[in-house]
Structure 1
Amino acid sequence: MSFLISIIIAIFFVVVFRNFIKKHSKLCYIITTILSILLIVGTYTGTISNLPSWFTNNVYPILIKSSFSTALFVIVMYTGAFKNGSSLVKFLMPIRAELSIIASILTLSHNISFGKNHFVKLFTAPQTMAPNMFIAAIISILLITLMIPLMITSFPSIRKKMGAKKWKKLQKTAYLFYALIYAHVMFIMVPIAKSGILDYKVNVLVYSIIFLTYAAMRIHKECVKKGLSKPKSLAPIIAATISFALINGYAFYN
């Protein structure tokens, strides 16, 4: 449920602040960095618990568990899956790089905050970790390794220095990055969802629908681009993907 809420908040955030983000991107990066530092310090020192309950119960989990930053990444990745020249692409493309940088900064705060336990255990006492958390931690390191170059090269000045060919080649690693996000989340959430916690059940289902639909859309777009299939409505593909996720979700939980 928290991820679905994060998606809604992220969409609202983009719609309301689109122009501000584009005009004042550097200020947005500074604000995001300050917020991330405060989250890290608050987590390490425990001062977060002294804040009002509405923040610690509703806002803090979405930020520190990377639900909101992942929702921003979802908007970034879907921008590349929509039909070129569509109204959504025209609306989102001008701030795609900025959203990616903001999401990356927030994600780093998540990694640093949770790393004080999981990364320490991974490198000092991996045998004490549950198998799913051990794999999730390794995937997290891979994600950071991919994310940092993608974030740095999202800055226009760096992009210009790289050249179009090298930049496009590097950006293709984003597909692996998105796939690993989904894998990371599933390794963490599926075991908890199996225990019967509704929030995690809903999260697993929402993540699956969103990421599998994206994969179907992106593959379809690439096939059309290479002339392997004729352009047609994506509705049947999306419907089939959602149905697949729902059917498998039902089988998984029953």
Structure 2
Amino acid sequence: MNFLISIIVTIILVAFGGNFIKKHDNFCYLLTTLLSILLVIGSYTGVIWTMSPWFTSTILPILIKNAFATAIFVIVMYTGAFKNGGKLIKFLMPIRAQLSIIACILTLAHNISFGKYYFVSLFTAPKTIPTNMKAAAVVSIILIVIMIPLFITSFPSVRKSMKPKTWKKLQRNAYLFYGLIYLHVMLIMIPLAFTGNSTYIINVVIYSIVFLTYAIMRVNKYMIKKSSVKLRQVV
């Protein structure tokens, strides 16, 4: 349910705060960075787990387990799947890069927080973690490798210094990134869903609907574009 809540919250924030994000992007990056630093410090010291039960059971999982950042990535990826010229793409495209940067910062905090155990164990004591978590950790490392260049080149100043063709080619890696996010989540959640845990069963269903619907929409948009190009060439 954390993911569903995160998507709802993200949609509300983007709908009402989109213009603020566009106008005050640096402030949003600073705020996100400070939040991420607090999460990392709190995770390493254990302080965040000693806070009120309401916070640790409701707010913290959304942030520390990356549900909120993933929900932001969902908005970013769906923007590219919406119909060109439509109201949604016109509203979201001007803040797509900003949302991506915010999501990347939060994702780095998530990986640093959980990496202190899973990444370290993967290389020093792999037998101490379940097979699915080892696979999830490997996928997570690949995700970081793909995400860093996407993150850096999302800043306008960096984008302007690159050739448009090179930038677009690099940004195509985002499709692989989105697919690996889904794989990473499924590796963690499916084994727990198979135990009969209703929370994880619901999560698997929600993640699958969101990501598979995006895949269908994106392929459909590509096919329409391809057909349109062929038609123009014939004419």
- Normalized against structure 1, the TM-score is what? 0.88
| Residue 109 of structure 1 pairs with residue 109 of structure 2 | yes
Query: Which residue in 1 is equivalent to 2:34?
Result: 34
In 1: Cα distance, 2:24 partner to 2:185 partner: 32
Mapped contact 1:223–1:229 kept (Cα < 8 A): no
2:190 is equivalent to residue 172 of structure 1 = no
1:3 aligns with 2:14: no
Paired position in structure 2 for 1:218 = 218
1:100 counterpart = 2:114: no
Write the letter of the residue equivalent to 2:143. Answer: L
Task: For residue 194 of structure 1, report the CA deviation from its aligned partner.
Answer: 0.7
Alpha carbons 1:73, 1:100 under 8 Å: kept: yes
Runs of 4+ in structure 1 over 4 Å off: none
Taking structure 2 as the reference length, what is the TM-score of the superposition?
A: 0.95
Q: How far 1:229 sits from its partner (Å)?
A: 10
Cα deviations across residues 52-110 of structure 1 (Å, max 9, x unaligned)?
Answer: 22221111110000000000000000000000010000111110000000000000100
* 1:209 counterpart SS class: helix
Which consecutive residues of structure 1, in runs of 5 or more, have no partner in the other structure? 231-254
| 2:136 paired residue number | 136
Q: Is the 8 A contact 1:3 1:68 kept in 2?
A: yes
Contact 1:2 1:199 in 2 (8 A): no
How far apart are the structure 1 equivalents of 2:131 and 2:50? 34
Aligned length: 230
Moved more, 183-192 or 121-130: 121-130
- In structure 1, what residue type is equivalent to 2:227? G
Q: Residue in 2 aligned with 1:249?
A: none
Q: Distance in 2 between matches of 1:13 and 1:52?
A: 25
Alignment match, 2:126: 126
Does the aligned pair in 2 maintain the 1:69–1:103 contact within 8 Å? yes
Q: How does 1:173-252 map to 2 (within 5 A)?
A: 173-227=173-227
Partner secondary structure for residue 83 of structure 1 = coil
Deviation at 1:49, TM superposition (A): 2.7
Kindly state the Cα deviation for residue 127 of structure 1 after the two structures are TM-superposed: 2.3
- Identity, % of aligned pairs? 63
Larger CA deviation: 43-52 vs 165-174: 43-52
Between the aligned partners of 1:44 and 1:183, the Cα distance in structure 2 is 27
RMSD of aligned alpha carbons: 1.3
Amino acid at match of 1:183: L
Aligned residue identity for 1:43: S
Q: Relative to structure 1, is the Cα distance of residues 41 and 217 closer, same or farther in structure 2, using a 3 angstrom cutoff? A: same
Quick one: which amino acid aligns to residue 3 of structure 2?
F
Q: Secondary structure at the match of 1:54?
A: helix
Deviation at 1:17, TM superposition (A): 1.1
Deviations along 1:192-214, one digit per CA (max 9) or x if unpaired, are 01111111111100000010010
**1:228 Cα deviation after fit:** 7.5
Give 1:147's aligned residue: 147
1:178 corresponds to which letter in structure 2?
Answer: Y
Instruction: Supply the AA of the counterpart residue of 1:128.
Output: T
Secondary structure of 1:84's match?
coil
Q: Separation in 2 of the partners of 1:49 and 1:76? A: 31
Q: Secondary structure at the match of 2:227?
A: coil
- The amino acid of 1:135's aligned partner reads A
* Separation in 2, partners of 1:54, 1:13: 22
AA at the equivalent of 2:151: M
